[in-house]
Amino acid sequence: MPRDAALPLRPRRSVTLRSQFTLVIFMLAFLPNVVLTFMAQPSVPVASLIGWMVVVGGLCAAVGYLLSGTLLRSLSLLHAEVERGDFAQPHDDDPAEILSLRSAFADLLGRLGTEQTRRNAFIATLVHDLKTPLIATGHLTRVLTTMPLPDAEKREVGTQIQAETTRLLALVQQMADAHRFEREDVQVQLVSTDLRDLLDDVARRIHAQAAARGVTVRVYGEGQASVDALVLERAVINLTENALRYASHEVQLGVTSRGVSVSDDGPGLSLPVSELAQPFNSQPTTIAGQQYTAGTAGLGLFIARRIAEAHGGGLRYDRAPPGLLPTDLPPTDPPPAYTHLTLVLPEVTP
């Protein structure tokens, strides 16, 4: 082993700001006295001059120490208040730099508090949402391993275990996506993409899920845009799965001049999308009469919003007639209002 590697690391000593101020004041006061003394009294014995310089040096050092303490009084007071955690209230004699520091510390503390709240909500989300499929899987596994069941019932239990496992994996993936897109530096690889083909692929992927819920999925519109197809597809799937959850009969995926729209004939959102599209919100949220806790309602919307923002757009919500009118609507009836969530893209070309 190298000799240096065996040596313990010693903490680096840092010079205090007061010491530096004291030294500067000392040098500014002492050096002119040295020059003036030796120029004005050439006949005085050297020993007397040195003694005098020692006295002058001591006085200059004392003055420097006192002045540095006065100059740094506001900083020392701020340091003590920061250690106590009570630094928000400024003082009348605080200079502008100290006021800026107080504001910066207060902003930092606010961001840390917000981050801690979100992390706590994240843990609550994990505990709340992961617990349900894990408990269900545990019960089903116990039934499968301890009870004599006919082959048909065993297959049914196995199917239920697979469904709970799929639900668990989907939730973990959503958590991972939320953590990824929570960062500000999301990178996307833009390539010219046929948006209609992308929506057709999404419709095929969620066909079985829609059929199980008795919901029809229709696709309309044409257009191209420079997007990251895989990332944008993730956003569309999130919005489509939310739409399937609340739709009564139909979900529509459309390419419009603004971007990509996901619509459903459900009851709509009870809060602005800006409030719902939060990664980990510790406050309960109600959507379509159903209450969600610990941020479960906003993960999909948040991921979709961040993906749209990474492409230079945003997520927009409105209630309006559908892009395609229902086929069973009588000509005399007014068109119904659909929930439209649009991933706004900078430029869509026909």
Q: Which two tokens stand for residue 318?
A: 């409105």
What local confidence, expressed as pLDDT, does residue 282 receive?
Answer: 45
pLDDT at 164 over 60: yes
CA distance 132 to 254: 34
Average pLDDT, the chain: 79
Q: What are phi and psi of 324, to 5 degrees?
A: -115, 125
* Mean pLDDT, residues 12-37: 76
List all residues 6 or more positions away from 197 whose beta carbon is below 8 Å from its beta carbon: none
Nearest-5° angle of CA 64, CA 65, CA 71? 85
List all residues 6 or more positions away from 56 whose beta carbon is below 8 Å from its beta carbon: 30, 33, 37
* Mean pLDDT, residues 93-104: 77
CA distance 229 to 195: 9
- Between 15-29, 272-286, 313-327, 333-347, the lowest mean confidence (pLDDT) is in 272-286
Q: Give the range with max mean pLDDT: 10-24, 41-55, 169-183, 319-333.
A: 319-333
Higher pLDDT residue, 176 or 162? 162
Q: Do residues 199 and 219 make contact, with C-beta atoms less than 8 angstroms apart? A: yes
pLDDT at 2 over 60: no
CA distance 339 to 240: 12
CA distance 101 to 97: 6
Half-sphere exposure of 28 (CA within 13 A, CB side): 11
* Mean pLDDT, residues 21-46: 75
Q: Which two tokens stand for residue 66?
A: 């006192």
Please return the burial class of 59, using the count of CB atoms within 10 Å of its CB with bins 0-12, 13-18 and 19+: middle
What local confidence, expressed as pLDDT, does residue 185 receive?
Answer: 64
Q: Do residues 99 and 89 make contact, with C-beta atoms less than 8 angstroms apart? A: no
Half-sphere exposure of 71 (CA within 13 A, CB side): 14
Q: Give the range with max mean pLDDT: 127-131, 176-180, 195-199, 278-282.
A: 195-199
Closest Cα partner for 329 from 321, 319, 340? 321
- Report pLDDT digits (tens) over 40-51: 666 767 777 778
Closest Cα partner for 141 from 110, 125, 176, 165? 165
Q: Do residues 216 and 313 make contact, with C-beta atoms less than 8 angstroms apart? A: no
Query: Helix 46-71 to helix 73-84 angle, to the nearest 10 degrees?
Result: 50
Higher pLDDT residue, 227 or 296? 227
What local confidence, expressed as pLDDT, does residue 298 receive?
Answer: 62
Please name every residue paired with 63 in a beta bridge, in sequence order, or none if there are none: none
* Mean pLDDT, residues 30-40: 74
CA distance 171 to 130: 8
Q: What percent of the chain has pLDDT over 90?
A: 24
List all residues 6 or more positions away from 341 whose beta carbon is below 8 Å from its beta carbon: 239, 242, 243, 261, 262, 263, 273, 301, 304, 315, 316, 317
- Report pLDDT digits (tens) over 230-263: 889 989 998 998 899 889 999 999 999 999 999 9
* Mean pLDDT, residues 326-335: 72
What local confidence, expressed as pLDDT, does residue 252 receive?
Answer: 96
